[in-house]
Amino acid sequence: MKVGFFVPCYVDMLAPRAAIASYELLRRFDLDVHYIEQASCCGLPMTDMGYERKACHVENNLVKYFSGYDYVVIPSGICTDQVRYHLDSVEKTPEVQHILDTTHDIVDFLHDVLQVKSLPWAKFPHRVALHNGCHSLRYLHQARPTELMIPDFSKPAALLNLVEGLEVCYATRRDECCGFGGTFAIWDQSCAGQQGLDKVSDYERNGLKYVTSADFSCLMHQQGVARKFGVDIKTYYIAEILNGTAEA
Amino acid sequence: MSQVNQVKLGAKFIADTAHRVSHDRCLWAARMRRDKVASEIPEWEEMRSLASQIKLHTLTHLDEYLQEFETRLKENGVHVHWAEDAEEHNRIVHEIFSAHHVKTVTKGKSMLMDECGMREYLEARGIDVFEADLGERIQQLDNQRPSHIVMPAIHKLRGDVAKLFAEKLGSDPDIDDPHYLNSVMRKSMRQNYIKVDAGMNGVNFAVAETGTIVVATNEGNADISANVPPLFIASVGIEKLIPRQRDLPLFIRLLSRSALGFDITQYTSHYTRPRNGQEMHVIIVDNGRSKRLGADYFEVLKCIRCGACMNTCPVFRRTSGISYDAPYMGPIGIVLEPSYDLHRYARLPYSCTHCGSCGNVCPVKVPIPEYVFYWRTEVVEQHEDELMHRMEESGMALALRNSTNLSHAEKLGLWALRNLPKWLLDSPANPWAKDHANPEAPKETFREYYSRQGKG
């Protein structure tokens, strides 16, 4: 199975450990993994601000370099949603449609495509708060959002439950948005900051020190707010825990 | 009109801890009650789909249903008027009132009348309007817009109401007991109810098959407005129609559960014909709706005004409806208001984190999250985007053009994180630093790690 591995811009720059863990984790399975070095960005910052038309160049670039793989895996829910559902300026040729259909966030890829049933190398004997980023939760449908009256399921929790000693926990408002919201945290700092503070305070009230998510963007925001306001939490990208390289 | 800056108005509310915390808790509690009562109905999700389909059907056959509705109304002895816009609506109301020498009116809650600015219009023409909904009346006394479509004064604390009532109704400013405050308002309003010349109401659902208008309230205020005075006017937006009486229970089951998390409202009142000796008018209002019907975002017309999207919205709960400075606020407001005035409301679609929760609680499945994207694109296309956004976009377009540019941009960013003094990194030039500690710069990017690994 030929798998392309795309590292989103913010992960490359600010969270290489998330990308390294994902890359190592993928290579533990019998896969032919290729880093897609040439692609730059999924186009989300432009689409997010309404510059859909100007995202055209970035999107064309993306499908060019995403071609030729059985699957493309991205260690970021928010960017995966962008690729799968918001590449609106690119013509949907059969080749492009293949890319959209076979691009997965790492959680979906492990759970749905590889159908991973054990992670013998992973051990993390702690109570860990699982934060489902909104895009992973409500657009990639990785778990049941609390608003929907459908049977309960959670792909990230199912994977985390394979890790020895780990207990999956949640904040009281388990899937309320933490306020990152793409460019939202830049343009509406007051609200994003308050949302973030409410979220990390919720962990603290529940005695949860370790936080994980399939969206590093949420974690970057939550960790930044926590450090600013002196709340003691430690954040891990989900692949770090699944790969067994997270250190408490 | 000047542009609404929701971010700035919202920041003011956020800084007021007591109000923000209370507001957030009240609305989150409504959301939690909604989850609970919805979970008790096995067919909840099917109900949402069905309600959405009935609304879509009605909206795509609206001409037929409107004519049927008009015919039934007339058969029932109701006077029917058609208003193309807010101006015509207000003029019709005023003409009816002039013909009957009306000086005082009680009015049930109506988003449509708020949208038309009717109260201000009538008051400017010497007619006293008394809001009959408690929250709406509080807001009227305070000369402020409603902050929520079903809980108009939810952003206020008890103390605020006590102070307001003391000032306007002469009560004791030091007693903020809700029972006392209620009794003060009851005493004041009952005097008005007995002497008013006319009553007015909005409409939740209009049944085409029977010509019935249906109003749901928790205070019974609609019934007083409709049943006490000799003259009664109801205003209904063209999107409020449902085809048949038997379609109604579905919407009634969804409405209060979604809005407040209660099984049903205290009162669900059906008005089909005037009482003996009463004169009843129904004004059917367009005010931009038929324009929306032909637009990409036409499903906003499915909205039944329950407010569930507001209760769940993380931004709304922290900033309050006051910060949107518009008749419709919260998630539905930010996708509806730009269609009234794109310039004035151009910044509202950015007051959203794309969490998607509003779309999931909406009882008629208005695709609000999708429409947020639609309006942001429209704001850019119509050149209403902010200068700062344009600058950021240009910077990003350059940095993200290809992997070489991106790699340079990342190096520059990391250099800045590692080498610039802390005072500069934490200065207002870096908006991230207001509520975040800056991230630590990693030793190398993934790109660098990968090339060091000798490409696997």
In whole angstroms, how large is the CA radius of gyration of chain A?
A: 17
Using the predicted structure, report yes or no on whether residue B397 has a pLDDT greater than 80. Answer: no
**With an 8 Å Cβ cutoff, is B395 touching chain A?**
no
> What does the buried/exposed string (b/e) look like for A85-112 if buried means 16 or more CB atoms within 10 Å of the residue's CB?
ebbebbeeeeebebbbebbbbbbbbbbe
Give the ranges where A53-160 is alpha helix by DSSP (H): 56-66, 77-85, 94-102, 106-108, 134, 155-160
Nearest Cα of chain B lies from the Cα of A244 at a distance, in angstroms, of 19
Average pLDDT, chain B: 94
Q: Whole-angstrom Cα distance, residue B211 to residue A59?
A: 52
pLDDT band at residue B92 under the 50/70/90 scheme? very high
Using the predicted structure, report yes or no on whether residue B401 has a pLDDT greater than 80. Answer: no
- pLDDT tens digits for B134-153? 999 999 999 999 999 999 99
Letter for the amino acid at B112? L
- pLDDT tens digits for A46-58? 888 888 777 777 8
Mean pLDDT of B164-175: 97
Which B residues, 340 through 369, put their C-beta within 8 Å of a C-beta on chain A?
Answer: 349-357, 359-361
pLDDT at A49: 86
- To test the contact with chain B by mutation, choose from A12, A138, A237 the residue with the greatest count of B C-beta atoms within 10 A, namely A12
Q: Whole-angstrom Cα distance, residue B70 to residue B73?
A: 5
Using the predicted structure, report yes or no on whether residue A153 has a pLDDT greater than 80. Answer: yes
Task: Identify all chain B residues contacting A16, using CB atoms and an 8 Å cutoff.
Answer: 442, 444-446, 448-449
When mean pLDDT is compared across B90-104, B235-249, B429-443, the lowest value belongs to B429-443
- To test the contact with chain A by mutation, choose from B21, B253, B435, B451 the residue with the greatest count of A C-beta atoms within 10 A, namely B435
CB-CB contact of A232 with A204 (8 Å): yes
Mean pLDDT of B417-428: 81
Mean pLDDT of A135-162: 97
List of residues 6+ apart from B376 with CB closer than 8 A: A48, A49, A50, B349, B350
Query: DSSP letters along B129-184, please?
Result: EEE-SHHHHHHHHTT---SSSS-TTTTS-HHHHHHHHHHHH---TT---HHHHHHH
pLDDT at B267: 95
Using the predicted structure, report yes or no on whether residue B354 has a pLDDT greater than 60. Answer: yes
Q: Which residues pair with B128 in a beta bridge?
A: B104
Mean pLDDT of B244-255: 98
Nearest Cα of chain B lies from the Cα of A18 at a distance, in angstroms, of 9
pLDDT at A57: 78
pLDDT at A73: 97
Mean pLDDT of B406-418: 81
Which B residues, 405 through 424, put their C-beta within 8 Å of a C-beta on chain A?
Answer: 405-406, 410, 413-414
* Nearest beta carbon to residue B414 from set A13, A49, A227: A13
Task: Identify all chain A residues contacting B316, using CB atoms and an 8 Å cutoff.
Answer: none
- In this complex, do B445 and A186 lie within 8 Å of one another by their Cβ atoms? no
Return the closest-CA partner of residue A135 out of A73, A197, A172, A181. A181
Using the predicted structure, report yes or no on whether residue B166 has a pLDDT greater than 60. Answer: yes
Using the predicted structure, report yes or no on whether residue B52 has a pLDDT greater than 60. Answer: yes
Average pLDDT, chain A: 94
Mean pLDDT of A139-149: 97
Q: Whole-angstrom Cα distance, residue B135 to residue B184?
A: 14
Using the predicted structure, report yes or no on whether residue A88 has a pLDDT greater than 90. Answer: no
pLDDT at B454: 63
N- to C-terminal Cα distance for chain B? 61
Mean pLDDT of A125-132: 98
What is the value of pTM for the model shown? 0.95
Mean pLDDT of A149-172: 98
pLDDT at A61: 84
Mean pLDDT of B249-271: 96
List of residues 6+ apart from A210 with CB closer than 8 A: A124, A126, A127, A128, A129, A233, A234, A235, A236, A248
Share of chain A above pLDDT 70, in %: 100
